[in-house]
Amino acid sequence: MRTFIPLIMLILCVGCAKGPAIPDWLESEPAAYPASRYLCGRGQGATAGLARDRARADLAKVFEVAVRESSSERLQWQQGGTGKDGLQTSISRDIQMQTSQVINGVQIAQTWRAEGGGDYHALAVLDRLQTGNRLRAEIDALDRETEQNIGRARRDEPLPEKVSAAYNALDAQLRRQHPQKMLRIVDLTGNGLTSRYQLAKLKSDFESLLDRWQIGLVVARDDLGQADAILAGALGNAGIRHLASAARAEYQLRADLGSEKLKTTDGWNWVRGTLRVSLIETASGNVIGSHHWSYKSSARQAEMAEVRARAQLSSLLAQDLLGVLVQFGDVAEK
């Protein structure tokens, strides 16, 4: 029996000399983190930090399609116009922030490197249940926001408040699309939470109210020129009818367009200024809300600098005016 003891010890020592066992997750599903409970990502790099970063990035790729689709669909439902590029940037930023909140739940479960050296390997995991619960809570909050705004839009309130409420109801459901797409990835059933609201119906309700909103223009000051045409075009782009007679309109948009012209020593002509607008209830004279935009342009020729300034204002209004008017309704409601 004694002769076998050294042999057993030798076998054990040889086994120890082989170093740590290769983890199962390098080439297959990790037993400790089954797909039924976790989403996994793997990374490899010359340093442990690089391997971990690549593992997180590998897991994040699972959501890339959902991000692209959500951005595209959100933009499709928004108002068109020359401000589309700026709108795309705003939507993308919002969706990236939502995605980052989910990715923040990613944990590095294991890091491994062969005893003889070589690259580091890392395993990133995302708990399906915890992430799903967070996404469901976000979706429920957006559905409650939608319901509350639908109720506001149906009340006997001033038109700006009804328009604002209808817009917010639609916007809440547009924002809902992204967490829903992410939940379908996280949820094993792939279903997520079905919405009780139809986007087409919400958009139709909003546009019907918007079509009732008739606004007259009052330009109190116009240093740049063509303020009437710029603002009328912006209202039309937003889907709001412009009445030629401001006195007959239930609401008036009063504008103050200030402009300053400069010429530098190197021959460049600059135009800069501020456009201020106020929404006023015609009957009472009450100011519902005010907003301003700053602009600046330059050119070698003075006339071209002014042309560029008008184009910049048109772009700013096409991108922002509808949202500004909707915010006025929010302020009035509060």
What pLDDT sits at residue 75? 55
Q: Where, residue-wise, is CATH 3.40.50.10610 in the chain?
A: 213-333
Tokens of 106: 């990613």
Instruction: Share the mean pLDDT of the chain.
Output: 86
Radius of gyration, alpha carbons of the chain: 30
Which range is least confidently modeled, 33-37, 51-55, 188-192? 188-192
Mean pLDDT of 20-28: 87
How far from each other are the two terminal CA atoms of the chain, in whole angstroms? 91
67 pLDDT above the threshold of 60: yes
What pLDDT sits at residue 332? 56
13 pLDDT above the threshold of 50: no
83 pLDDT above the threshold of 50: no
Q: Which band of pLDDT confidence, cut at 50, 70 and 90, is reported for residue 12?
A: very low
**Is domain 213-333 in CATH 3.40.50.10610, yes or no?**
yes
298 pLDDT above the threshold of 80: yes
Q: Report how far residue 152's alpha carbon sits from residue 177's, in angstroms, rounded to the nearest whole number.
A: 22
330 pLDDT above the threshold of 70: yes
Largest CA distance in the chain: 113
Q: Report how far residue 281's alpha carbon sits from residue 55's, in angstroms, rounded to the nearest whole number.
A: 57
| Model pLDDT for residues 121-133, shown as the tens digit of each residue | 999 999 999 999 9
| Model pLDDT for residues 214-258, shown as the tens digit of each residue | 999 999 999 999 999 999 999 998 889 888 898 899 999 999 999
What pLDDT sits at residue 104? 76
What pLDDT sits at residue 17? 43
- Does 166 or 63 have the greater pLDDT score? 166
CATH of region 36-127, choose from 3.10.28.20, 3.40.190.10, 3.30.420.40, 3.40.50.360: 3.10.28.20
What pLDDT sits at residue 91? 55
| Model pLDDT for residues 151-160, shown as the tens digit of each residue | 999 999 899 9
Q: Which band of pLDDT confidence, cut at 50, 70 and 90, is reported for residue 264?
A: confident
What pLDDT sits at residue 11? 46
Block residue for tokens 């909050």: 141
Q: Which band of pLDDT confidence, cut at 50, 70 and 90, is reported for residue 135?
A: very high
64 pLDDT above the threshold of 70: yes
- Does 61 or 257 have the greater pLDDT score? 257
Which secondary-structure segment (H or E) carries 77? helix 64-77
Distances (CA, A) of 105 to 60, 99, 108, 109, 237: 11, 10, 10, 12, 41
| Model pLDDT for residues 169-215, shown as the tens digit of each residue | 999 998 998 899 889 989 988 888 999 999 999 999 999 999 999 99
pTM as predicted: 0.79
What pLDDT sits at residue 6? 54
Measured over the CA atoms of residue 243, residue 159, residue 150 and residue 318, the dihedral's sign is positive
Mean pLDDT of 58-84: 63
Q: From the centroid of its chain, how far is CA 50?
A: 29
Residue 274 is given by DSSP the state E
Q: Report how far residue 259's alpha carbon sits from residue 280's, in angstroms, rounded to the nearest whole number.
A: 23
Q: Where, residue-wise, is CATH 3.10.28.20 in the chain?
A: 36-127
Mean pLDDT of 56-72: 76
Q: Report how far residue 177's alpha carbon sits from residue 74's, in angstroms, rounded to the nearest whole number.
A: 8
